[in-house]
A and B are shown apart, each in its own frame.
Chain A
Amino acid sequence: DAGVTQSPTHLIKTRGQQVTLRCSPKSGHDTVSWYQQALGQGPQFIFQYYEEEERQRGNFPDRFSGHQFPNYSSELNVNALLLGDSALYLCASSFMGSANSPLHFGNGTRLTVT
């Protein structure tokens, strides 16, 4: 049973460019959340997708957008990249129907903006 998979594992982009990160949730999970983790910091919630809709959003600008597909996989898009967007981006999946369902995390995508 595959867990949460994220691609790519590493990415280097230039300021002003756009990036797309991808996430496949754990089998049986229907909810995907994205987090940004800067070096030495805890994960910061970006947004959550359920039933192909953005359900919640953290304190991130509109440059950060996402999508969830019918197979529950998800994409995170970041436009007009800034140096400060350099971070580890974590995807977490869970099952909305169970309050006891923990978040399962992928290994993340390390984004470096130069």
Chain B
Amino acid sequence: AQSVTQLDSHVSVSEGTPVLLRCNYSSSYSPSLFWYVQHPNKGLQLLLKYTSAATLVKGINGFEAEFKKSETSFHLTKPSAHMSDAAEYFCVVRANSGGYQKVTFGIGTKLQVIP
């Protein structure tokens, strides 16, 4: 079984303040974990990925995420929010098993950045 829980459907921060978007997962396999960002009417853009190397993963646009196996978490952070960060963010788990890719999306977190 595999699941992803994004703990907040909406997050609101002021410009210049830190961002924390939370994600917990479960998987019967050794999964890879990803964060994607989606701006309105656009496809999903890969922010970063965890693939069992370093537990602290740096992505694009100043985002990073830390994989914590003991907590089954993969929270996304950014030290200082920018107006252009306002978008929807999806946490995604992927595992390969027997020629099948099992991909599970979280429900998404809408990030609002207040000027």
Contact = CB atoms under 8 A, between A and B. Distances in A.
21 contacts: A41-B108, A42-B105, A42-B106, A42-B107, A42-B108, A43-B90, A45-B105, A55-B100, A88-B41, A92-B44, A96-B99, A96-B101, A99-B94, A100-B32, A100-B52, A102-B34, A102-B46, A102-B94, A103-B92, A107-B42, A107-B43
B51 interface: yes
Interface in A37-59: 41-43, 45, 48, 50, 55-56
Interface string B74-115: 000000000000000010101110011111011110000000
Contact count band on B: 20 to 34
Contacts of A45: 103, 105
A90 interface: yes
